[in-house]
Structure 1
Amino acid sequence: SNARPGRALLLATDAVAHKVHVTRNLRGTSSLTVAVEGERTATYDTPPAWVKQSGDLVRVDLGKGVTVEMQETVLILTIPDYGHIRVEVTGSGIQTDLPEGKTPPDWLRATSAKFDARPSLGQRIQVSRARMEVHRYFGGWENFFFPFRSELAGSSFPEIIRLAFSSDRRQPETPNWKLIFNTFWNNPDWQHGNVFIALLETFLMAVLGTLTAALAGLPLAILAASNFTPSQVLRFAVRRVFDFLRGIDMLIWSLIFIRAFGLGPLTGALAIAFTDTGSLGKLFSEALENVNKRQMEGVSATGANRWQFYRFGVIPQIIPVFVSQGLYYLESNIRSATIIGALGAGGIGLMLVETMNTQRDWENTAYLILLTVGLVIIMDTLSGKLRKRLIHGVAQKNSINQ
């Protein structure tokens, strides 16, 4: 089997934690950098407390008794209950010396080209001919609210609240609350502003596609219903149109429209509209064929014209189906719009693919997934309440009329 559960666990860890790299370059000038992975400007000017540098010697404390010492081209990894592993970069390659009498553990991979050790899930040591690199994981999303170089970075929540209501401005021309919001909104590493716009784009893509499908599906459903359209040929033709539209998967429609109109939200909305017109049209036509004939006959007996006939005799009976199915498809289409967006239609789906392609920003990927799930939950809650209110109101009105 090619399954790699260890890699899946690592990606899950990356999604809920951030990684700090301690890197020592071996080519050119021997420089030391300490930086948060995946962030553009998150390089420490002064190493954190768990990284000690004394001249050419660098000591890194990875916690749980695991330490790393780097000096010139030699790295010494100390593991409790195992001993010292010595790694040296030589002209012929990388030489690894294990403690006397010890066998290589499962978490160690050592060749003449590369040394890679992962004593635990939150610790990793890599050595190549070009560099020595030590990784340490910390729980949480680093710099989620404010950028690493921001003057607000590292501030606690109470400090931010006090600053927001303080009359002593950090920047004379900008109120503190606006400074806080702008710093958060324009965070270059998490891109909250761009993420919100992408999420809104995905939502509007789903709304536009679903609304178009519902409005187009209802009149077509009347033509497909046997009790409203006597022409069998016309009914057959409309029903085959429904089969054609919903028979082609939404992703295929999306690829067709991307080819026709190019990348953008329009392609996603059209793909949703075409697929759901077939699905909703079929559901609406079946609902129309099951309406109460007595109510329609009663409206006709009053001398109502054709518009009044549909307005008072038909539409009140199918509103529950129209609303419930429309809202259900809207919830589903938010997920579909995310997938279509990944193909090039834009929105949160495209951002999701971009973060996954880097294979370094899995915490950003988790952030986008949580926002998408949150949007679906909100839509499910709101649509459920709206369905109950509308359907209950229609039921009461129908009972009064009867």
Structure 2
Amino acid sequence: MSTPPAPLAFPLAFPLAFDADAVMARHVDAVRHVRRGSLIGLAGLLAVLAYLVYAWFAFDIPRLIATAEPQRAVLLATDAVAHKVHVTKGLRNPGFEVAVEGERTATYDTPPAWVEADTAGDRVIVDLGDGYSARIDGAVLTLTGPDTAPIRVEATDRGVRIDYRGARPDWVTEGVNVKTGSLVKFEARPSIDKRVQVTRSKIEIHRYFFGWENFWFPFDSPLHGLSLGALVELALSGDRIDPDRSNVATIFDTFWSNPEWQHRTVFIALLETVLMAVLGTLTAAFVGLPLAFAAAHTFNRIAVIRFALRRLFDFLRGIDMLIWSLIFIRAFGLGPLTGALAIAFTDTGTLGKLFSETLENIDRKQVEGVQATGANRWQRYRFGVIPQILPVFVSQGLYYLESNMRSATVIGALGAGGIGLVLVETMRTSRDWENTLYIIILTILLVVAMDALSGWLRRRLIQG
């Protein structure tokens, strides 16, 4: 026979009564805790809002908004991706000129198809596109458009006279002499790629075209305007452009020595930037590593030396890299060496601190295991310490190498040389924004290439 199941065991007594005062006290404490947390959050939010209000007036944001020129920003962006062709007629000298802005030798001997002119240049008709055209007859400009009545502007010795045949368009601005109250300038911009200006000394018409003009070859070069197929055919041809060298050498040298885009100068500047970053980072890593051993308490028991080295690290990284660069420029003059020294001094402090902290957190059991085999001190470092810290050292060193590529550009702008100095030179005039964009793109590509290279090196050195 099966054994019957054991009866269920119940406690003899149930806590049927509860302490209402204790429950109420816990409830009150919970409510107070929630209220305290809410008040702290509200106080934090009010503090953030107060700071934003303070920053709004401390940085004079209303004045910045009032004086902002978004249209000028649009013009600069347009200049960076397009080139502008001028049609200029001087009213004090006969004739007219068609030229690409910003290039000293880019003047057309024969006007382009969208410009019609007589031999003397007294009568010029410019097709601005989109139905707009400008006609110059002596000192009179007539501007016509698809949606506006013709506008007649005459340049005189005292200024300009404007005759609107209809309503004045909103894209027309007039310059007024404050003293005399007379009109001295007429400017019309129907769209971002069209501009007409008339003063008492000249009539100027601008038309934008997308793309970088004369990027590959100079305007006056026989290679200018040739297609890729024509260049390949010329390179393979036996008829030489220059009898002293091959066509391939001529094509490359014409591109390399382009006086407007200065490809050779830009390449050398990029190379100087790379050398500054690599030399500065390697110097900091090789100097910071032995100092890090002396600054780590696991390898150096002398507290005075550790304290002195840690304060040295604080001093080196406490002074910004730009300040070090200015100091070395005053001490050694302009050149890439000053940039490399600035990077080396700053990163020695940073990498020394990071390396020493890594050394203080190594696994001592692995070192003791190597010591148990009878290894001397240097062998313990080689087989017990270096394998542990190598991945961290490589990662940190390569990261700072990538970062210093950008820092070397900024340091170069202060006078240390490299691509930063070339970038500042192109930004000094508002005519060279396409060159500025070109250098910025090359700098970004350099940083991307260094990122890819450092990633590959990291995998090879750490993973094997």
TM range, normalised to the smaller chain? over 0.9
Q: Percent identity?
A: 67
2:38 paired with 1:38: no
Q: Partners of 1:249 and 1:166 in 2: how far apart? A: 57
2:458 paired with 1:392: no
> Amino acid of the residue matched to residue 51 of structure 1?
V
Q: Partners of 2:108 and 2:437 in 1: how far apart? A: 25
Deviations 1:130-180 (A, max 9, x none): 211111101111111111011100000111112112222222221111111
Give the equivalent residue in structure 2 for 1:277.
348
The Cα of 1:235 is off from its aligned counterpart by 1.2
The Cα of 1:304 is off from its aligned counterpart by 2.6
Q: Partners of 2:172 and 2:428 in 1: how far apart? A: 26
Kept in 2, the 8 Å contact 1:98–1:104? The answer is no
2:210 paired with 1:139: yes
Alignment RMSD: 1.3
Give the equivalent residue in structure 2 for 1:150.
221
2:136 paired with 1:70: yes
2:361 paired with 1:297: no
> Amino acid of the residue matched to residue 396 of structure 2?
Q
Give the equivalent residue in structure 2 for 1:224.
295
Give the equivalent residue in structure 2 for 1:20.
85
Kept in 1, the 8 Å contact 2:158–2:184? The answer is no
Q: Partners of 1:217 and 1:181 in 2: how far apart? A: 44
The Cα of 1:291 is off from its aligned counterpart by 1.3
Kept in 1, the 8 Å contact 2:419–2:439? The answer is yes
> Amino acid of the residue matched to residue 342 of structure 1?
A
Q: Partners of 2:390 and 2:235 in 1: how far apart? A: 48
Kept in 2, the 8 Å contact 1:96–1:110? The answer is no
The Cα of 1:108 is off from its aligned counterpart by 2.8
Q: Partners of 1:351 and 1:235 in 2: how far apart? A: 43
TM-score normalized with structure 2 length: 0.82
Give the equivalent residue in structure 2 for 1:87.
153
The Cα of 1:79 is off from its aligned counterpart by 2.1
2:325 paired with 1:254: yes
Map 1:276-355 onto structure 2 (within 5 A): 276-355=347-426
Give the equivalent residue in structure 1 for 2:280.
209
Which of structures 1 and 2 has the bigger CA Rg? 2
Deviations 1:362-401 (A, max 9, x none): 11000000000000001101111211221112xxxxxxxx
* Greater shift in the superposed pair: 305-314 or 106-115: 106-115
Deviations 1:5-60 (A, max 9, x none): 11111111111111111111112x22211111111211000100001002521011
Q: Partners of 1:107 and 1:314 in 2: how far apart? A: 74
State the SS of the aligned residue for 1:172.
coil
The Cα of 1:300 is off from its aligned counterpart by 2.2
Q: Partners of 1:109 and 1:313 in 2: how far apart? A: 79
- Which of structure 1's runs of 4+ aligned residues deviate more than 4 A? none
> Amino acid of the residue matched to residue 127 of structure 2?
D
Where relative contact order (Cα < 8 A, 6+ residues apart) is larger, the structure is 1
Deviations 1:253-296 (A, max 9, x none): 11111111111111111111111111111111111111121221
TM-score normalized with structure 1 length: 0.95
Q: Partners of 2:387 and 2:184 in 1: how far apart? A: 75
Residue ranges of structure 1 left out of the alignment (5+ in a row): 394-402
State the SS of the aligned residue for 2:189.
strand
Q: Partners of 1:109 and 1:274 in 2: how far apart? A: 56
2:173 paired with 1:108: yes
* Greater shift in the superposed pair: 310-319 or 46-55: 310-319
Q: Partners of 1:109 and 1:276 in 2: how far apart? A: 56
2:241 paired with 1:241: no
Q: Partners of 1:274 and 1:262 in 2: how far apart? A: 17
